[in-house]
Structure 1
Amino acid sequence: MSQVGDRVSPGKLAKLAVPALGVLAAEPLYLLVDTAVVGHLGGVPLAGLAIGAIVLAQVSTQLTFLSYGTTARASRLYGAGRRAEAVAEGVQATWLALAVGAVLVVVGQLLAVPIANALAGPGEVADAAVGWLRIALFGAPLILVTMAGNGWMRGVQDTFRPLRYVLVGNGISAVLCPLLVHGAGWGLNGSAVANVVAQTISAGFFFHALARERVPLRPEPAVMRAQLRMGRDLILRSLAFQACFLSAAAVAARHSVAAAGAHQIVLQLWTFLSLVLDSLAIAAQALVGAALGRSDARQARGVARQVALYGFVFGAVLALGFAAVSQVLPRVFTPDAAVLAEVPGAWWFFVALQPVAGVVFALDGVLLGAGDAAFLRTATLISALVGFLPLIWTSMAMGWGLRGIWTGLAAFMLLRLAAVLGRVRSGRWAITGATR
């Protein structure tokens, strides 16, 4: 591996980060297209998409161990020279994805109505969300298969094939979405069908990639149990995210239809840029895991310092860019005057938080690569309970609208920043060996 002292060369980092950026950006970029297409149907379909999309997104967020946990385990094995065992982690993660995804389809169909009513309140927004969600849920197992596929491929430092797989699926569906929504007259349901098409195509590529590796494809319960043990902490961490973002969507929807639509626009941009920034975290995760797998703690710490600096700079550049287009970009997503009037209440929080997010996400990747999931679980839960949730529900009680919601998000991010900086500086996360 090319390096200078304890630093990985920028070229090596970019070789992993740039394709990962494409993979991470593909799905939220598709959702931005989806939001723009649906936004031209009016405020109610856009608000319905906001509720349905946040529920589906939280399904995958809740199960990030299928990607991040798999990368952490596979990268250590790969760094120790045990590539076949690293790929085998992907096989077992894929079995888990199919099993969990099947359960989600059944449970989601049963609970779609009460979930939508709980988030938006009974009415036309909830009805629109239910129709979208019932169709989109059929893609849940395929979303999870794609997550598992990205996990093992990142672990063996192959980020180019996942990029091709995801771009083909989402590219076809981005063309299909306006045809179904407006051309065929399917409205919001056409958006959900296009989502499922994207997930089917991408998952099919990952199945094929595993089959070509010529490793055993049978389920191995012992390996899956080990993955679930690490997944337990990542699931609890994801629960904190789920509570925060579902609460934000619910408060926005109950404030007004316009606030829900504006929140959907800014939240999708936040999600998009979060994953753009997270490309450094993916590279850091693979490199840190491999370094610790071959017992090179010095390089793991060097990667941590590098990605923290790069993340801050990257976030600052994004903040300047989105500040410059604040009067133009929201109009791409909707012509609704009421929605546009609500956007500034969230926009400037979104801009100011980008440098903070750049550092937080990069160091999250370092700690995930080290398998330090228990610390990340605790830090995220505390940040949610102390920072985000009190402010979000106070916002609802006091009628603060989007400014209150995004003040809560700012508190959440600043608490997480303090936690990960302290942990990385302590060095207690850099435990070496092929497994942790």
Structure 2
Amino acid sequence: MDGGRHPLSVLFQGASYGLAFKLDNLGKEIMGIAVPGALALMADPLASLVDTAFIGHIGPVELAAVGVSIAVFNQVSRIAIFPLVSVTTSFVAEEDVTSSDRQKVETNKESEHNVSDSEMDELISSEDTSATSRKSSLSSLVNIEHNRKSIPSVSTSLLLAGVLGLLQTLLLVFYSKPILDFMGLKPDSGMLNPALQYLVLRSLGAPATLLSLAMQGVFRGLKDTKTPLYATVAGDATNIVLDPIFMFVFKYGVSGAAIAHVISQYFIAAILLWRLRLHVDLLQPSLKHLQIGRFLKNGFLLLARVIAATCCITLSASMAARLGSTPMAAFQICLQIWLASSLLSDGLAFAAQAILAGAFARKDYSKATVTASRVLQLGFILGLLLSVLLGVGLRLGSRLFTEDKDVLHHIYVATPFVALTQPINALAFVSDGVSYGASDFAYAAYSMILVAIASVICIVTLTSYSGFLGIWIALSIYMSLRMFAGFWRIGSARGPWAFLRS
């Protein structure tokens, strides 16, 4: 780029001409990954919202209790699997690109060899022609066998996800009480028993949940987000059907909601595993192909990032729980909607990560620049649309979750923050995808640690002064700092973006 041009200006390339909406090859590639990816991500939070809606009609205490349990389960799952999923998507995308390039070279060599063979065919006898035909048939069978790709990162990811899932189950089954106590549910709290029931049962589905998320990371790296969408929709539809059966017909209450969710997660995992084995060799010839060291090195960096981010969300939920069951019930509803709507932006983040990983693997910096610019512009526009939608929809639709007037009052207090932070959230999430696509894992980890330190101070301070309102002010500050950290890396033209200085 021109020497007098600021690196951050690449983010605004073609904005005045509406190039973000251009459906050229890159535009179609982004949309082909982002739209199904976003819909797949939305399916699970929507299923959780359905759980929340059903449980909300049991009572505000049960609603608040399940809110704490879902927060615990989701945050522990994020700590366990999010680093692995992010690393998997980048590594699979890189290996898929290099594998495709290598296959093209081999195909060209085979074509040249076949031309030579065709010249020789004119000189051989008819008996030799029959032998050549048999050789060709054998070659076709070999080609069919090699249709499945050999991508070592896939096997590594599934192995680690299975181990982490079992460890998460053991952790939540045996240490659920201390964890809930840390979250503010003391032995004399009416929320403790329903929260404990839900969390222990839900933890039995952790292996399936983590395997499903890992396989979704694999499919994103292969630029296939449709398969995870179909599997997730099928599983969550099962969850929605089973919810009222277990909760009200069998009268299991909050335990029924947990059982329905566990069944749906194993169903999703089975579908994804069945589809994945048709495209990829899941068993590597030896342990040295698993690249466990490479995964652990970058995974630990992102683990530090996820723990830092988890501290902010978990601390917010804990502070809300300490305010009482009514603020916690309202916080649970608003947080689920806040995260569910923001996950739409993660579809763009997936597209950015998969496309950028391939571009950087090929050293195609021009495509990397244009991709980063497009997805960030689309993220901002999406955030504006969500802001308007939630500003109107949350106030009008909050009665779907509860009829309690005190809970509704707290929801109305949080609504402006849930709505107005959507553009900020969108840019923050898409920036994460850009960082992961550039394999800038170290910066992503260290910057989030600094953001979390500042945000934790804000959460504790503002909650002590402003209560429920203070929690949402602090969360808004947290997302703003995340967005700034992502933009600063590109704007300073450092790390993988150093080429922007030239």
Please point out which of 444, 464, 488 is paired with 1:397.
Answer: 464
- 2:482 is the alignment partner of 1:416: yes
- Aligned equivalent of 2:299: 231
Name 1:142's counterpart in structure 2.
208
Does structure 1 residue 58 correspond to structure 2 residue 58?
A: no
- How many equivalent residue pairs? 427
Contact 1:330 1:340 survives alignment (8 Å): yes
What secondary structure, in the 3-state scheme, does the structure 1 residue paired with 2:251 have? coil
2:226 corresponds in structure 1 to 160
- 2:347 corresponds to which residue? 279
CA distance in 1, matches of 2:419, 2:395: 13
Partner residue of 1:116 out of 163, 180, 184? 180
**Aligned partners of 1:265, 1:151: CA distance in 2, in Å?**
27
Task: Give the Cα separation in 1 of the matches to 2:494 and 2:224.
Answer: 28
TM-score computed with the length of structure 2 as normaliser = 0.81
Instruction: Say whether 1:101 aligns with 2:165.
Output: yes
Aligned residue for 1:259? 327
Q: Aligned in 2, Cα 1:426/1:391: closer, same or farther, shift over 3 Å?
A: closer
Q: Secondary structure at the match of 1:35?
A: helix
AA of the residue aligned to 1:233: L
Q: Do the aligned partners of 1:363 and 1:424 also contact (CA within 8 Å) in 2?
A: no
Equivalent in the alignment of 1:209: 275
Instruction: Give me the whole-angstrom Cα distance separating, in 2, the residues matched to 1:109 and 1:95.
Output: 22
Quick one: which of 186, 189, 194 aligns to 1:128? 194
- Pair 1:74-2:74 in alignment: no
Listed as ranges, the matches of 1:177-216 within 5 Å are 177-213=243-279, 215-216=281-282
Instruction: Quote how far apart the aligned CAs of 1:427 are.
Output: 3.7
Q: Which residue of 2 aligns with 1:172?
A: 238
Amino acid at match of 1:397: S
Preserved CA contact (<8 Å) 1:301 1:430 = no
List structure 1 segments (4+ residues) > 4 angstroms apart after TM superposition: 82-86
Query: Matches of 1:256 and 1:86 in 2, distance apart?
Result: 53
Deviates more, 1:377-386 or 1:308-317: 377-386
What's the RMSD between the two structures over aligned residues? 2.0
The structural deviation recorded for 1:8 is 5.6
Unmatched runs of 5 consecutive residues or more in structure 1:
none
Contact conserved, 1:28 with 1:268, CA < 8 A, in 2? Answer: yes
Q: Is the 8 A contact 2:150 2:280 kept in 1?
A: no
For residue 423 of structure 1, give the secondary structure of its aligned residue in structure 2. Answer: helix
Which residue number corresponds to residue 325 of structure 1?
393
- The structure 1 residue matched to 2:364, chosen from 296, 317, 330, is 296
Alpha-carbon offset, residue 289 of structure 1? 0.6
> What is the distance in 2 between the residues matched to 1:329 and 1:240?
33
**C-alpha contact (below 8 Å) 2:83/2:306 kept by paired residues:** no
Q: SS at 1:327's partner residue? A: helix
Q: CA contact under 8 A between 2:90 and 2:357: conserved in structure 1?
A: yes
Instruction: Provide closer, same or farther for how the CA distance between residues 312 and 254 of structure 1 changes in structure 2, counting only shifts above 3 A.
Output: same
Matched, 1:250 2:318: yes
Paired residues of 1:259 and 1:401 also in contact (CA < 8 A): no
Given candidates 14, 38, 45, the residue that maps to 2:62 is 45
Identity %: 29
Does structure 2 retain, via aligned residues, the 8 Å contact 1:315–1:355? yes
Would you say 1:13 and 2:30 are equivalent positions?
A: yes
Shift, 1:225, TM fit: 2.3
Please give the TM-score of this superposition, normalised by the length of structure 1.
0.93
Which AA in structure 2 matches 1:81?
Answer: S
Cα distance in structure 2, aligned partners of 1:193 and 1:138: 9
The whole-number CA distance in structure 2 between the counterparts of 1:70 and 1:260 is 35
- Residues 130 and 294 from structure 1, CA distance in 2 versus in 1: closer, same or farther, beyond 3 angstroms? same
